[in-house]
Structure 1
Amino acid sequence: MNIKRVSYLVIVLVVVSSVLLFVKPYVTWREGGERISGEVVVLPEPRLTGEMSVEEAIARRRSIRSYRNEPLTLEQLSQLLWAAHGITDPRKYRSAPSAGATYPFEVYVVVGNVEALEPGIYRYDPFNHTLTLVKRGDWRKALQKAALDQSWVGRAAVDIVLVAFYRRTTSYYGERGVRYVHMEAGHIGQNIYLQATALKLGTVAVGAFYDDQVAEIIGTEGVPLYIFPVGVPGG
């Protein structure tokens, strides 16, 4: 092999390696290093203005347990996830306050009826505003069974599941951090409520379920704290 050919191959390898450094591999990691690989769905950009004021959303907010058999749009799901846990600042601060900016939550979505989105379980990536597919299939009925057979969990178009990784916060604040994690769950939950109200959707905070069963269904090593069924209100 002559010197010119060797030099050419070296240049090609350097260029390819450089490109790969900047190409996003569609792979994420679970807490503890367990790998999740799957399709990545790029969500529509969230809107920063809407048709309903914060004051009106607060006044209209109710727990809604009855939903029509109608799909959500991908735009609606995007807006809900951004309100729950999206990035709102160049410094990577998010839509809900977090003690010491430790952000102990991961947000999963059990999708059953969303336009242009395959049913399945997805993990929300707030940094890229994308969804990573964890499991295919409609898991709403399985989640309903794990949630003491609360029918609205199975009837909702989607179920948003908040999963806590306590160590992210307790490693800074000790046992006091457990309280801060629970406070943050409330912050995120209220954001979901208000955004759903502004989108003329319905939701309800569900806290009664078997933790281990929900964790197994969505495929996480964290602790599920909340399920938020979301759908088009009915009845």
Structure 2
Amino acid sequence: MWRRSFLKIILATPLGRLIAGIAASLATATAIYLDISHIDMRKPQRISGVEVFLPYPKLRGTVSVEEALANRRSVREYRDEPITLEELGQLLWAAYGISETRYGLRTAPSAGAQYPLEVYAVVGEWGVAAGDGYLAAGVYHYEPHRHSLTLRKSGDFRRELYRAALDQRWVLEAPVSIVFTAVFARTTRVYGERGRLRYVPMDLGHAAQNVYLQATALGLGTVAVGAFYDEDVAEILGLSEEETPLYIMPVGKPAAYYKLSERELVQYYERRRR
């Protein structure tokens, strides 16, 4: 009882009122800090994962641009073999990597240099050979300015991606799928709806063709897949609400290679010039 009386006397003094006010403020601040009821835990949360530095891109190859253009095909049959980490890195660099070091411009042109695209790699079990082992299966995000992969989700998600892509088996059988997404707001904030309807699709076309040509130059094959359930692919990749999946490009070693000769091409034209 005497303790309560003593506490009342202390709180009645100016110093006591000051201490009580500070305590109340701290309690309120703590309550606000700990209150997470407003957070939607069902919404995918972006988390930092393991970062894999890719081998530096090569700027010279053994296949000319003309040869790559001539022999580019949509490939849907792959050998049961992995690609290498170096090949994966080269493909990602070709897709959306850095090609100018003052401003960090990319290998693919973009309207207003807004770069709305994001690039992911869905890596299967034993899909990418790295040194004496393999890159862990999982969903990776490509970081263009570091030329690295950041692990977003562990595990082999090829079967889930295959189901989301209307059971197109090349998505299941390829060791890796490169997936393009877009944050439309980066472009629409400058160009409005024209950015959504025209400029972002143009950006995607440039980047996807880069993957086609680089794959051909590396002796690999790919195909652009646009038929899939957007929400399912977004869930697999763990995308935020502002990000939309646009293309899936499975990549692997072709079951058969296409080779066009100059003679075949000349004969084709001559037959049509008669």
Q: By the TM > 0.5 criterion, same fold?
A: yes
1:101 pairs, out of 113, 125, 137, with 113
Residue 267 of structure 2: aligned partner: none
Shift of 1:34: 5.0
Alpha-carbon separation, structure 1, partners of 2:45 and 2:226: 26
Give the drift of 1:36: 2.0
- The structure 1 residue matched to 2:46, chosen from 25, 35, 53, is 35
Q: Which residue of 1 aligns with 2:74?
A: 63
Is the aligned partner of 1:46 residue 2:57? yes
> 1:1-235 counterparts in 2 under 5 A?
34-90=45-101, 91-112=103-124, 113-116=127-130, 117-178=135-196, 179-221=198-240, 222-235=243-256
Q: Deviations over 1:28-82 (max 9, x none)?
A: xxxxx95321000000000000010000000000000000110000000000000
Structure 2 SS opposite 1:200? coil
Spell out, residue by residue over 1:143-183, the C-alpha distance to the aligned partner (whole angstroms, 9 max, x if none): 00000000000000100000011000000000111110001
* TM-score with structure 1 setting the length: 0.85
Structure 1 residue identity aligned to 2:169? S
**Paired residue type of 1:140:** R
Say how many residue pairs are matched: 204
Aligned-pair identity in percent equals: 62
The alpha-carbon deviation at position 208 of structure 1 amounts to 0.2
Rounded Cα–Cα distance in structure 2 between residues aligned with 1:39 and 1:168: 27
SS at 2:105 equivalent: coil
Q: 1:136 to 1:34 in 2, by over 3 A?
A: closer
Partner of 2:33: none
Q: Is the 2:46–2:238 Cα contact (8 Å) retained in structure 1? A: no
| Matched residue type, 1:96 | A
Structure 1's consecutive aligned runs of 4 or more residues displaced over 4 angstroms after TM superposition are none
- Larger CA Rg, structure 1 vs 2: 2
In the alignment, residue 251 of structure 2 is paired with which amino acid? V
Contact 2:49 2:150 in 1 (8 A): yes
Q: Is the 8 A contact 2:75 2:221 kept in 1?
A: yes
Contact kept, 8 Å, 2:45 with 2:238, in 1: the verdict is: no
Q: Matched residue of 2:69: which SS? A: helix
Q: Unaligned regions of 5+ residues in structure 2, if any? A: 1-43, 257-274
Q: Secondary structure at the match of 2:152?
A: strand
Structure 1 gap ranges (5+): 1-32
**Equivalent residue for 1:11?**
none
